[in-house]
Amino acid sequence: VICDSRATQARLAADAVERLVRGRAAQDRGVVLGLATGSSPLAVYDELARRHGEEGLSLSHARAFLLDEYVGLPADHPERYRAVIDRELVRRTDLDPAAVHGPDGAAEDLPAACARFEAAITTAGGVDLQLLGVGTDGHVAFNEPGSSLGSRTRLKTLTAQTRQDNARFFGGRPDAVPQHVLTQGLGTILEARHLVLLAQGAAKGEAVRQLVEGAVSARWPATVLQHHPHLTVLLDADAAGRL
């Protein structure tokens, strides 16, 4: 979907969340949301917070799983993805903080933390709707180029490009961006029942072109999403500029 504005893009993504939440509430069932960080979904969180405040949209029966987390940031660091989600969504809605789970980047045993996280998603019944962004190099969550297309939650090393892209969150210093992360694998992400990916700006143009029109390859991890039976790609005109 090529959207006429970023507001439209955020509205369409929020509509998908709202339809799911209200539909399940009518059946007295909760939902499992997959939340992304980065700048791409921020306007969606603004819109969900607005609908909560003004239109009574409730996330009180939702559970949520984060896509990824930095390794080694101090507990009180504002750029920990768990802190970002608390700030951008949890505190602005009635989403229960105890119902939000991310991979534990501070765990002593990181592989065990990844296994626990995968098990928690399974126990919750899987993710109903997963919000996604895409990196300029085609990464999804933190699955950098070369990632196995069937991968599960695991420890990864960030590329220089991604640390450069994320430096704006760390005082403009790429070397302040952690080198290591825990991330859901591409195989994990593909199991969510509906994927809603957002991209904005010309810098995402090539990644979007590969995602929509390219051959499926670990060189551009986002291309694996072509295998998903229910993927919605919401673009602004700039991100769609190379299609």
Residues that bind ligand GLP (CB under 6 A): 36-40, 67-68, 133, 135, 141-142, 162, 166
* Residue environment code for 23-59, b if the CB has 16+ CB neighbours within 10 A, otherwise e: ebbeeeebbbbbbbbbebbbbbbbbbbebbeeeebeb
Q: How far is the CB of 221 from ligand GLP (least distance, A)?
A: 11
Sign of the four-CA dihedral 86, 55, 64, 187: negative
The reply to whether 68 belongs to the active site is yes
Q: How far is the CB of 210 from ligand GLP (least distance, A)?
A: 14
Query: Which residues lie closer than 8 Å to 33 by C-beta, 6 or more apart?
Result: 17, 59, 62, 63, 64, 65, 127, 128, 129, 130, 131
Report the residue number whose CB is nearest to ligand GLP: 133
Q: How far is the CB of 173 from ligand GLP (least distance, A)?
A: 16
Of 162 and 210, CB closest to ligand GLP: 162
Of 161 and 217, CB closest to ligand GLP: 161
Sign of the four-CA dihedral 134, 140, 146, 148: negative
User: One of 128, 137, 165, 236 is an active-site residue; which one?
Assistant: 137
User: One of 69, 144, 165, 236 is an active-site residue; which one?
Assistant: 144
The reply to whether 139 belongs to the active site is yes
Q: Which sequence positions are flagged as catalytic? A: 68, 137, 139, 144
